[in-house]
A and B are shown apart, each in its own frame.
Chain A
């Protein structure tokens, strides 16, 4: 009887440790703790080019994470990317004329949306659209533009 109770105790310890390890993988190693947005409200924005932005990418204001991208789709009427963000309900007072731009963390890091607050006294609310947007900077385009300018300049010099 004692042996059986000890056995059950060991199995209990084993299962508890396994579940604890799983919880650690979820919260400490994974992003489950950071992924949730409290009491979210949806805001939309249309971009010409979203670059490498992905669903679940962070949305920040002044560097502070206030939400995440929940959906990305193509608007078939004007061929712009329609990005839906869910913002934390604690931040209800973001001016409605704020602008959204797609930024890159570091030179080659992941892309995220940065909001710049405007001056309006109306606030963004569920379902509203951010009007002023700035597309992602695609590195290839910048480089090719630079090279193109460079080549045309040096071409005019040689004349």
Chain B
């Protein structure tokens, strides 16, 4: 009986949490309309979540591309299809690895920082102080961060894929001796802009919304103590990683039939 009650409470709590998060999202979105007049706030946040994440994205993209080149070559060469290496590398990156790995890294690097920052602002009562001065913290603090995350994520994913393709070319053409022309022409004939590249961009936009949304919501909702902030940061990374992987499955099932 008791355990049933506990199950019920867990379900009610999680539904309530989802509802709060959705209302919060709507509030932030309506607050972000005023950002068109104060775009420098967004630019600052694009620097924080985008430019500072650039290095880890570029390095990871390069290595993921190089690993794809090595592994793909070893498998393809067994079937005498090493010429398709470029296609394999580009399709894996553009469709899946680019958006997903970027989103996971983004959650770890930028999402956790957002949560910690907002949580700490709450713990040190900066948000309450803003409200005292009739500044809406949602418009001033939360909305620029959410918009910046949505802007930065697709750009980061595109950079990841592009650098990954170059890494694959470095290994495939430079080290393993696949012909450079064949590498690129197979890629160009197999990768369709509308079906592969655009769907990858759509994925990365969705991931950008979800990861940043989870990060700012967890920060805003965190218990204003040092332990509460650390838990909220932890939850951001866990929830956004799970959300990214689950959403990726759903979107892949819908996009690539």
Q: Is B75 an interface residue (CB 8 A)?
A: no
Q: Is B191 an interface residue (CB 8 A)?
A: yes
The B42-78 residues at the A interface (CB cut-off 8 A) are 43-44, 46-47, 50-51, 54
Q: Is A139 an interface residue (CB 8 A)?
A: no
Q: CB-CB < 8 A to A56: which residues of B?
A: 192
Report the Cα distance A25→B201, complex, angstroms: 10
Min distance, Cβ A66 to any Cβ of chain B, angstroms: 16
Decide if the interface of chain B is mainly helix, strand, loop or mixed.
Answer: helix
Decide if the interface of chain A is mainly helix, strand, loop or mixed.
Answer: helix
Min distance, Cβ B186 to any Cβ of chain A, angstroms: 10
Contact B187–A29 (Cβ < 8 Å): yes
Report the Cα distance A10→B152, complex, angstroms: 13
Given A11-B51, A18-B154, CB of A34 within 8 Å of CB of B162: no
Contact A31–B191 (Cβ < 8 Å): yes
Q: Is A15 an interface residue (CB 8 A)?
A: yes
Contact B159–A17 (Cβ < 8 Å): yes
Q: Is B94 an interface residue (CB 8 A)?
A: yes
Max count, chain B CB within 10 A of own CB: residue among A25, A30, A32, A110:
A25
- How does the 8 Å CB contact mask read for B198-228 relative to A, with 1 for contact and 0 for none? 0011000000000000000000000000000
Report the Cα distance A116→B68, complex, angstroms: 41
Report the Cα distance A26→B188, complex, angstroms: 9
Closest A residue to B54 using CB positions: A14
Contact A22–B90 (Cβ < 8 Å): no
Q: Indicate which residue in B43, B46, B50, B197 contacts A30 across the interface (CB closer than 8 Å).
A: B197
Q: Is B165 an interface residue (CB 8 A)?
A: yes
Min distance, Cβ B44 to any Cβ of chain A, angstroms: 7
Min distance, Cβ B35 to any Cβ of chain A, angstroms: 15
Contact B158–A11 (Cβ < 8 Å): no
Q: Is B256 an interface residue (CB 8 A)?
A: no
Q: CB-CB < 8 A to A13: which residues of B?
A: 51
Contact B192–A25 (Cβ < 8 Å): no
Q: Is A24 an interface residue (CB 8 A)?
A: yes
Closest B residue to A35 using CB positions: B193
Contact B50–A11 (Cβ < 8 Å): yes
Report the Cα distance A141→B188, complex, angstroms: 31
Given A7-B47, A14-B46, CB of A21 within 8 Å of CB of B192: no
Contact A22–B196 (Cβ < 8 Å): no
Contact A8–B188 (Cβ < 8 Å): no
Report the Cα distance A31→B188, complex, angstroms: 5
* A-B CB contact pairs (8 Å), 7 listed: A10-B47, A21-B161, A25-B94, A25-B161, A25-B165, A29-B165, A33-B188
5 closest Cβ pairs, A-B complex: A18-B155, A21-B162, A30-B193, A21-B158, A32-B193
Could you tell me which B residues sit within 8 Å of A by CB distance? 40, 43-44, 46-47, 50-51, 54, 90, 94, 151-152, 154-156, 158-159, 161-163, 165, 184, 187-189, 191-193, 196-197, 200-201
